[in-house]
Amino acid sequence: MDNNVNMNEVSRISAGTVFKGEITSSNDIRIDGEFDGTINSKGRLVVGEKAVVNGDVICTNVDFSGNMSKGTVYVADTLSLKAGCTVVGDLRFKRLQVDLDAKVNGNLRVLTDGEFEKVASKASVEKPAVPVKEK
């Protein structure tokens, strides 16, 4: 994670935790447990070595060390696939860094100008509104 990031501003899913649903954040996220759903973050996503992430990811930067068996990943800047990770899915990125022994099975494609913004804005528009109860 970035050394300039305040640890209180990092959302975490710890080892031993299973989370299903949707995460939307303007801060960094670290996953060491299991996540199944959609992640939309303007920060960095760090997926730990023993983590399992399945679903769609829309993020500025991703450091991936864990496992993913399905999903689509959109990265506005840099996708880093670390040694030992296993990723099955479609990966869309501006820049890609792959360590030796990273395993990838899927489609890899460099994002075109404006493509990430379209995906990110569509994801934020499609979120259902939460009804406000009047008193």
112 belongs to a structural domain? yes
How many other C-beta atoms can be found within 10 angstroms of the C-beta atom of residue 122? 10
134: pLDDT strictly greater than 50: no
Question: Predicted confidence band at 74 (pLDDT cuts at 50, 70, 90)?
Answer: very high
107 belongs to a structural domain? yes
129 belongs to a structural domain? no
131 belongs to a structural domain? no
Which residues constitute the domain of residue 104?
Answer: 7-117
- Express each pLDDT in 24-64 by its tens digit: 999 999 999 999 999 999 999 999 999 999 999 999 999 99
Question: Predicted confidence band at 7 (pLDDT cuts at 50, 70, 90)?
Answer: low
User: Does the global pTM surpass 0.85?
Assistant: no
134 belongs to a structural domain? no
- Express each pLDDT in 91-133 by its tens digit: 999 999 999 999 999 999 999 888 998 988 887 765 544 444 5
How many structural domains compose the chain?
1
DSSP secondary structure string for all residues of 43-94? EEEEE-TT-EEEEEEEEEEEEE-SEESSEEEEEEEEEEE-TT-EEESEEEEE
72 belongs to a structural domain? yes
71 belongs to a structural domain? yes
135 belongs to a structural domain? no
Q: What is the pLDDT of residue 126?
A: 56
Nearest to 67 by CA among 110, 29, 34: 34
70: pLDDT strictly greater than 50: yes
